[in-house]
Amino acid sequence: METTAEFYCACCGEPNQTFVDLSQGFQQTYVEDCQVCCRPNVLYVRVDEDTLDVAIDTDFNE
Protein backbone atom coordinates (compact mmCIF):
# COMPACT_ATOMS: atom_id res chain seq x y z
CA MET A 1 0.00 0.00 0.00
CA GLU A 2 1.31 3.45 -0.94
CA THR A 3 0.43 6.95 0.16
CA THR A 4 1.76 10.40 -0.63
CA ALA A 5 3.36 12.76 1.86
CA GLU A 6 5.09 16.12 1.82
CA PHE A 7 8.58 16.97 3.01
CA TYR A 8 10.58 20.18 2.96
CA CYS A 9 14.03 20.12 1.39
CA ALA A 10 16.77 20.42 4.02
CA CYS A 11 18.82 22.51 1.57
CA CYS A 12 16.45 24.95 -0.19
CA GLY A 13 13.35 24.62 2.02
CA GLU A 14 10.97 23.96 -0.87
CA PRO A 15 8.05 21.52 -0.38
CA ASN A 16 8.23 18.17 -2.19
CA GLN A 17 5.74 15.33 -2.64
CA THR A 18 6.91 11.75 -2.19
CA PHE A 19 5.38 8.29 -2.21
CA VAL A 20 5.65 6.28 1.00
CA ASP A 21 5.35 2.49 0.78
CA LEU A 22 3.48 1.60 3.97
CA SER A 23 4.36 -2.08 3.59
CA GLN A 24 8.00 -1.20 4.41
CA GLY A 25 7.23 -0.49 8.06
CA PHE A 26 6.24 2.32 10.37
CA GLN A 27 9.75 3.81 10.51
CA GLN A 28 11.77 4.22 7.34
CA THR A 29 14.91 6.05 6.27
CA TYR A 30 15.91 6.64 2.67
CA VAL A 31 17.46 9.26 0.37
CA GLU A 32 15.42 11.22 -2.15
CA ASP A 33 16.51 14.14 -4.34
CA CYS A 34 14.72 17.48 -4.04
CA GLN A 35 12.43 18.10 -7.01
CA VAL A 36 13.50 21.78 -7.06
CA CYS A 37 17.25 21.97 -6.33
CA CYS A 38 18.11 18.29 -7.00
CA ARG A 39 20.11 18.00 -3.75
CA PRO A 40 19.85 14.67 -1.89
CA ASN A 41 17.77 14.60 1.30
CA VAL A 42 17.75 11.88 3.94
CA LEU A 43 14.08 11.27 4.76
CA TYR A 44 13.17 9.99 8.22
CA VAL A 45 9.63 8.70 7.80
CA ARG A 46 7.30 7.85 10.68
CA VAL A 47 3.85 6.35 10.13
CA ASP A 48 1.21 6.38 12.87
CA GLU A 49 0.07 2.76 13.27
CA ASP A 50 -3.54 3.70 14.05
CA THR A 51 -4.28 6.55 11.63
CA LEU A 52 -1.56 5.87 9.01
CA ASP A 53 -0.65 9.58 9.12
CA VAL A 54 2.85 10.16 7.78
CA ALA A 55 5.42 12.57 9.26
CA ILE A 56 8.76 13.20 7.56
CA ASP A 57 11.87 14.88 8.93
CA THR A 58 14.74 15.67 6.58
CA ASP A 59 18.49 16.07 6.76
CA PHE A 60 20.89 17.21 4.08
CA ASN A 61 22.98 14.38 2.59
CA GLU A 62 26.31 15.62 1.26
The string of pLDDT tens digits covering residues 3-57 is 999 999 999 999 999 999 999 999 999 999 999 999 999 999 999 999 999 999 9
pTM for the full predicted model: 0.90
Q: Is 7 exposed, middle or buried (0-12, 13-18, 19+ CB in 10 A)?
A: buried
Residue count of the chain: 62
CA atoms of 52 and 11, how far apart (whole Å) = 27
Q: Is there a contact between 41 and 10 (Cβ–Cβ < 8 Å)?
A: yes
Look at residue 28 in the predicted model and tell me its pLDDT. Answer: 97
Look at residue 2 in the predicted model and tell me its pLDDT. Answer: 85
Q: Is there a contact between 43 and 18 (Cβ–Cβ < 8 Å)?
A: yes
Question: What is 2-60's CATH number, 2.20.25, 2.60.120, 3.30.450, 1.10.3470?
Answer: 2.20.25
Q: Facing residues of 18 across strands?
A: 5
